[in-house]
């Protein structure tokens, strides 16, 4: 295809695309370099203590992010565990069972939900979810409605539409001919979904979940409003449910808080905040890289076409 | 990754265009306590004098001082006095605070605690609650209920007032970990919806419907309420001046705003929002 495409493809299209790519990559690289450069002082001050220290108290220049990393991990885990099964179910329904009309309605509805600004979810969280969690967990005597669990629940709602729509796309990209062939061999519709569509869409579904995780890790405003923002919350047992229903702090709720404004003019404190931002960027980067890598790996092992063609 | 970078680019573009826009407008930022007064004054000045003014409250009082020091704002709103560390941070800045009134900070509690009969706390008791050694309301004469202390974010004017009252002469308060609340609105909402909750809040925001202001029990064992006369004569210990601050002598739009805040109309706004106007302090 390439040599014949050259005949009618004007050069400026190629160049403008290359320019776009270059700007994108340069922006990313510049942001990363800036974060690394500005966070050097805090690494000189705290060393790995930034990663392993539990306490954060800037007036005494104590900078340890472990409790925040823990908070980020817990809220993201809760969100994923709740959102992925629901999203997958919704995607199977819309991709495999609904006729075109209702499917379009469901799909565009879900995509609209994905576009609702996060502060709106945050305010809904403050008004209702805090209250529900507080009342619902009354037998366990929660301190207040603000907790890692509340933030995780809210995040689950927020990443649900993103994961659903991506799962739906993954299922729809399985060729219809394969389903028809499966039905022709006598499989029921459910069997065709379970044994043909889902295994082939698995790489895409995994990628969808990891992209959802990336969004959950980076979400700020909504989490900030319901997580409680309590520093130093690191239980002995990371799966302690008492800790999960207690207030905590995430990397984003710290970054979105007032300390970013207070840190102006104090090089070390500022550097510590930038260090948190760098950690966050690295976590999100690792998630996206994992999504990309796993998707490729699984595609190679499940795609019969890829196996047949070298 | 690509979408992330594209978003970043977009954010940068928006940031540049808004900063270009804000260059002409008078940029005000800081305390959520002073915000209602200055916002209403700004509304009047926009209409009557055609001034362009932008206001936000990111980071509270310290956020306002830092934004002014850093050149990201033209006027800082601060509900605490400037301190040495502000001046150390920004040696090249000529901070000019103008007091526009005074406000008290009260310990405020959830309805259960108030209806349980608690009306006042001593400094010693508040210290115990702040440091976590007092855990139940019955230890201080209230109902049998767990104490949930909401700390205010550091840098909030109220936080400075409380820690100065509890730990006079010390540079920083002892390190404690509590759940945190930020703006006055959030503080009131979360205190009102959490059983056994206590926090500290600008007194006029304690509406006696959702949250209730406690008096302070002084060393002579009498209860002092945060009333106008008690604040003016200094017998109520937790109060703070309300400042608008400029870098150097105020000029242009900043001067118009400050003159307005000091005029009778501006001082009426200070009183309208529940704070003490300058004339009440004499």
Judge residue A54's burial from the number of C-beta atoms within 10 Å of its C-beta, 0-12 exposed, 13-18 middle, 19 or more buried: middle
Residue A247 contacts B where some CB pair is shorter than 8 Å: yes
The tens digit of pLDDT for each residue in A107-158 reads 999 999 888 888 898 888 888 999 999 999 989 989 899 999 999 999 999 9
| Least CB–CB distance from A265: residue in B89, B177, B190 | B89
The pLDDT of residue A304 = 55
Residue B189 contacts A where some CB pair is shorter than 8 Å: yes
The pLDDT of residue B6 = 47
What domain range is A93 assigned to? 55-300
Provide the pLDDT confidence category of residue B10 given band limits of 50, 70 and 90: very low
Number of domains in chain A: 1
Residue B44 has pLDDT above 50, yes or no: yes
Contacts across the A-B interface (CB distance below 8 Å):
109
Q: Cβ–Cβ of B155/A228 closer than 8 Å?
A: no
Q: Cβ–Cβ of B62/A258 closer than 8 Å?
A: yes
Residue A264 within any structural domain of the chain: yes
Provide the pLDDT confidence category of residue A305 given band limits of 50, 70 and 90: low
Gap between the Cα atoms of A68 and A276, Å rounded: 9
Residue A164 within any structural domain of the chain: yes
CA-based nearest distance B218→chain A, Å: 29
Residue A268 within any structural domain of the chain: yes
Provide the pLDDT confidence category of residue A236 given band limits of 50, 70 and 90: confident
Residue A111 within any structural domain of the chain: yes
Gap between the Cα atoms of B236 and B215, Å rounded: 9
Q: Cβ–Cβ of A24/B5 closer than 8 Å?
A: yes
CATH of the domain at A272: 1.10.3720.10
Suggest the residue from B60, B164, B171, B177 to mutate for an interface test with chain A (most A CBs closer than 10 A). B177
The tens digit of pLDDT for each residue in B167-203 reads 998 877 888 889 999 888 999 999 999 999 999 999 9
The pLDDT of residue A3 = 53
Residue A10 has pLDDT above 80, yes or no: no
Residue A157 within any structural domain of the chain: yes
The tens digit of pLDDT for each residue in A51-82 reads 999 999 988 899 999 999 999 999 999 999 99
**What's the rounded mean pLDDT across residues B219-232?**
92
Q: Are B223 and B217 in contact (CB under 8 A)?
A: yes
CA-based nearest distance A74→chain B, Å: 17
Residue A305 within any structural domain of the chain: no
The pLDDT of residue A302 = 62
The pLDDT of residue A303 = 58
Q: Cα-atom radius of gyration of chain A, to the nearest Å? A: 23
DSSP string for residues in A113-170: HHTS-HHHHHHHIIIIIHHHHHHHTGGG--SSS-SHHHHHHHHHHHHHHHHHHHHHHH
The pLDDT of residue B144 = 95
| Least CB–CB distance from B193: residue in A23, A60, A145 | A145
Provide the pLDDT confidence category of residue B85 given band limits of 50, 70 and 90: confident
Q: Cα-atom radius of gyration of chain B, to the nearest Å? A: 20
Residue A161 within any structural domain of the chain: yes
Residue A97 within any structural domain of the chain: yes
Taking every pair of Cα atoms in chain A, the longest distance, rounded to a whole number of angstroms, is 73
A219-223, B167-171, B258-262, B276-280: which is most confident: B258-262
Weakest-pLDDT range from A48-57, A301-310, B46-55, B92-101:
A301-310
Q: Which residues contact A260 (CB under 8 A, 6 or more apart)?
A: A273, B59
Query: What's the start-to-end Cα distance of chain A, in Å?
Result: 18
CA-based nearest distance A89→chain B, Å: 27
The pLDDT of residue A201 = 92
């Amino acid at each position: 295809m390439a040599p014949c495409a050259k005949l009618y493809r004007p050069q400026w299209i190629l160049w403008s695309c290359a320019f776009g790519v270059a700007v994108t990559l340069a922006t990313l690289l510049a942001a990363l370099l800036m974060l690394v450069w500005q966070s050097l002082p805090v690494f000189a001050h705290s060393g790995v203590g930034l990663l392993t220290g539990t306490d954060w108290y800037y007036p005494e220049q104590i900078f340890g992010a472990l409790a925040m990393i823990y908070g980020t991990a817990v809220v993201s885990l809760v969100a994923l565990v709740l959102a992925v099964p629901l999203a997958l179910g919704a995607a199977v329904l819309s991709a495999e069972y609904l006729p075109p009309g209702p499917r379009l309605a469901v799909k565009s509805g879900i995509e609209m939900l994905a576009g609702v600004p996060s502060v709106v979810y945050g305010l809904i969280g403050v008004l209702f979810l805090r209250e529900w969690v507080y009342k619902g967990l009354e037998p366990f005597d929660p301190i207040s409605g603000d907790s890692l669990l509340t933030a995780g629940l809210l995040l689950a709602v927020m990443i649900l539409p993103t994961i659903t729509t991506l799962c739906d796309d993954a299922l729809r990209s399985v060729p219809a001919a394969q389903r028809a062939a499966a039905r022709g061999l006598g499989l029921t519709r459910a069997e065709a979904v379970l044994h043909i569509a889902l295994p082939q869409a698995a790489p895409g579904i995994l990628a969808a979940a990891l992209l959802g995780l990336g969004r959950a890790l980076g979400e700020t405003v909504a989490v900030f409003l319901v997580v409680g923002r309590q520093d130093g919350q690191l239980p002995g047992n990371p799966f302690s449910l008492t800790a999960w229903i207690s207030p905590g702090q995430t990397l984003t709720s710290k970054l979105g808080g007032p300390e970013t404004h207070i840190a102006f003019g104090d090089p070390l404190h500022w550097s510590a905040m930038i260090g948190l931002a760098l950690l966050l960027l690295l976590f999100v980067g690792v998630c996206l890289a994992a999504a990309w890598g796993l998707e490729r790996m699984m595609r190679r092992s499940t795609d019969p076409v890829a196996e047949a063609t070298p | 990754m690509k979408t992330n970078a594209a978003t970043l680019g977009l954010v940068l573009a928006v940031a540049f265009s808004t900063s270009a826009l804000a260059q002409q407008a008078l940029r005000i930022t800081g305390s959520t306590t002073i915000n209602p007064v200055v916002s209403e004054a700004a509304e009047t000045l926009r209409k009557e004098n055609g001034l362009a003014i932008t206001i936000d409250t990111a980071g509270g009082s310290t956020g306002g001082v830092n934004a002014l020091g850093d050149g990201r704002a033209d006027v800082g709103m601060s509900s605490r006095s400037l301190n040495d560390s502000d001046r150390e941070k920004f040696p090249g800045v000529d901070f000019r605070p103008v007091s526009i009134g005074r406000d008290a900070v009260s310990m405020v509690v959830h309805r259960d605690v108030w209806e349980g009969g608690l009306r006042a706390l001593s400094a010693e008791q508040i210290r115990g609650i702040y440091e976590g050694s007092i855990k139940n309301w019955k230890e201080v004469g209230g109902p049998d209920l767990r104490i949930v202390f909401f700390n205010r974010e550091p840098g909030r004017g109220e936080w400075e007032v409380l820690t100065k009252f509890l730990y006079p002469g010390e540079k920083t308060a002892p390190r404690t970990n509590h759940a945190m609340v930020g703006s006055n609105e959030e503080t009131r909402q979360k205190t009102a919806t959490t059983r056994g909750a206590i926090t500290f809040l600008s007194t006029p925001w304690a509406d006696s419907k959702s949250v209730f202001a406690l008096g302070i029990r002084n060393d002579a064992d009498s209860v002092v309420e945060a009333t106008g006369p008690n604040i003016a004569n200094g017998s109520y210990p937790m109060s703070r001046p309300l400042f608008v601050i400029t870098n150097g002598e105020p000029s242009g739009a900043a001067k118009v705003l400050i003159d307005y805040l000091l005029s009778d109309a501006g001082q009426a706004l200070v009183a309208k929002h529940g704070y003490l106007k300058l004339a009440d302090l004499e």
